[in-house]
Structure 1
């Protein structure tokens, strides 16, 4: 009888209650890292004596080697591809948040593409092009958003209790598991590293366009205040105004689809 009563008490302790599972009014923040993938894109370059488009240009992200100094040393933590987000629960199921997805975009420096347009500077690439085959090489173009394909965005996210959906009876003061479904949009402020054949390296922050994305994910909260999170995002980026040199006449434009895998850790607590 004593054993039965003891077991029943422990089981009862594991049953979630509405009160200790409430999210409304909580504030959260997380820091994490991402991996990105990008669709091929057409990139148009314009300047005083050139206007040409490179078609179906491929690019990758740039992952930093996993080292303590790179990922956790305060003076170097922005070197990898990172994510910072702060959010507030407007209800038990919905939160709104602002954040920065610090991705990196690197055009493959050697590839074969099509080119259309003209270059009239009297140099090695001086020519009129009509959908011609063209070999991109390092001395012709370096095109990267490596100091940040910075996506500054706002999101709204729905949080559903997976334990309720699966009828699991666990103590929410020890662990909560939530599914995430969200959507957001924002602006792109890349720090683009661009070198054209006839210009010097340019690398400055500039508002270049906009983006939007949807996401799904899982959030694991431990002992009410600490959580681990995984998100998978998919979206679209359009940058019609990329600076390519110190001369304001030199510009580029591109748009592409992207996917992003985010892993993060953070804290959540009642604001009041």
Structure 2
């Protein structure tokens, strides 16, 4: 009996060792992206939805200190019309550049050119001090010829994030030329908006400026083809705080959240050759 048990355990041990060896050899047949020392880069386009945001305006020379309460805004994709008849940087674009400093762990520079426009067809709640007088009232904003508020971060709300990235293997479907991965990203950064607005008929001096800070998290599914090219679909959440934004004779600040859907095409550059 004891001898039989010993033989059974010996057979089991050999079987386990053989299975592990076969699995290891099987894995070697398929490439795994995200190896240490690999660089990657991508370009793509995005679509945004914004939370309501209160815009606080201070114009000391005009004796104004008021807030547009919970303003609604939208994006302007640009890629949904005549995309092949304009520069690739006109629509809402994004790019990523990353480096895998450890297997399945990367550092990434992540930039999203996103456009933010206050909707014209809404009733604005204005609260605070205007011309030294207290106000708490609603004003129509649907007169396109003379809007109360025309407010845009239209050459970009522009999120620049520095992300830590972790890759999780999904499947290669037993194909040597294909790999499907899940990438989880999180980071902090700055916003570099292009500020353009007209408030109560008064225009600002529009232009790019440092505008504040942002934090974001992203989940992306990356399909890699023939080891070096990939397609990526991302869902992303961003929280952004803007301050000292230029308005006529004053400054504005606001905080909003953003949900993004992003599609990228990219490439990988490994420092060492993949095993085949």
Query: Does the alignment reach a TM-score above 0.5?
Result: yes
Aligned to 1:27: 39
Tell me how large the CA RMSD over aligned residues is.
Answer: 2.2
| Residue pairs, 1:228-267, within 5 angstroms | 228-245=231-248, 249-267=249-267
How many residues align structurally? 242
Q: Which residue of 1 aligns with 2:76?
A: 62
Give unpaired runs (5+ residues) of structure 2.
1-22
Q: Give the secondary-structure state (helix, strand or coil) at the position aligned to 1:103.
A: coil
1:200 aligns with 2:203: yes
Q: Any stretches of 5+ residues in structure 1 without a counterpart?
A: 1-11, 121-125
Which aligned pairs between 1:1-272 and structure 2 lie closer than 5 A? Answer: 15-17=26-28, 20-21=31-32, 23-47=35-59, 48-49=61-62, 50-64=64-78, 65-70=80-85, 76-120=87-131, 127-129=133-135, 131-137=136-142, 138=144, 139=146, 140-163=148-171, 168-171=173-176, 174-245=177-248, 249-271=249-271
User: After the TM superposition, which segments of 4 or more aligned residues of structure 1 sit over 3 Å from their partners?
Assistant: none
* SS state at 1:147 partner: coil
Instruction: Name the structure with the higher helix share.
Output: 2
Tell which deviates more after alignment, 16-25 or 189-198.
Answer: 16-25
C-alpha separation in 2, matches of 1:145 and 1:179:
32
| Contact 2:153-2:196 at 8 Å conserved across structures | yes
